[in-house]
Amino acid sequence: MADANFAMTVTGISLARVHAMNLRRRQFLHLAASAVVLPAMSLIARAQTYPTWPVRIVVPSGPGGTPDIYARLVGPWLSERLGQSFVIENRAGGSGNIGTEVVVRAPRDGHTLLLVTPNNAINVTLYDKLNFNFSRDIAPVASITRQSEVMLVNPSVPAKTLPDFIAYAKAHPGKISMASAGTGTPPHLAGELLNKLAGIDMVHVPYRGGASAMTDLIGGQVQVQFTTTISSME
């Protein structure tokens, strides 16, 4: 059970590209490494190899959420080292499937990257039919981060600890609304895991991204949200 809990409550963010494109993973990583260890190298010389024009990083969720924050940190870093613009493009919806399909359908030239989240692994088992085969159509480039989920509760809930919250939820079954970034996302599954382990009944309220869910949590429209540490910081 400890392993199951860990898998459900830890998120990972990585970059991926369309599979079978002209740019190979080893070449990309070699260029990125060269940019770090040889900062004096001409930006023009690097750009002649890759990338040759601006690169899109597709974030399969809305602005302001954890994936979007990471993309907007990584994009300028890559631009500075590889000599081309890395443009962030948010494509929310379908628990990440819409943005993923945008990348799958893009030209296979290495200039459209996907910010991969745990949703992509979850969706393989959650959806009976997808318009793509993730393991076949998308290839990994680099891992960016790994972090834990945290549980946030609106102050209107009279609970200061997790046992207090569980006791309150048991006394008010079906009365606590749990926000998430969408059905099947890690925050949603973290909440459902707590429902199962604690024997409580929180009502799931899916949003089109973590930022909009956070807004309603602060406003009191929902009472609890599971999210990452970075998106819960001020």
Q: Is pLDDT at 93 greater than 90 in this prediction?
A: no
CA separation for the pair 218, 145 (Å, rounded): 26
Q: What is the mean pLDDT of residues 186-206?
A: 95
> How many degrees, rounded to 5, is the angle at CA 98 between CA 110 and CA 82?
25
Percent of the chain clearing pLDDT 70 (strictly above): 82
- Domain boundaries along the sequence of the chain: 2-147, 148-232
For residue 208, give both structure tokens: 């089109």
Q: Is this prediction's pTM over 0.95? A: no
- CATH of span 148-232: 3.40.190.10
Where does the pLDDT of residue 73 fall: very low under 50, low under 70, confident under 90, or very high at 90 and above?
very high
- CATH of span 2-147: 3.40.190
Q: What is the mean pLDDT of residues 190-201?
A: 96
* 2-147 and 148-232 in the same fold: yes
Q: Express each pLDDT in 158-179 by its tens digit.
A: 999 999 999 999 999 999 999 9
Q: Which residues in 170-187 are b (16+ Cβ under 10 Å) and which e?
A: eeeeeebbbbbbbebbbb
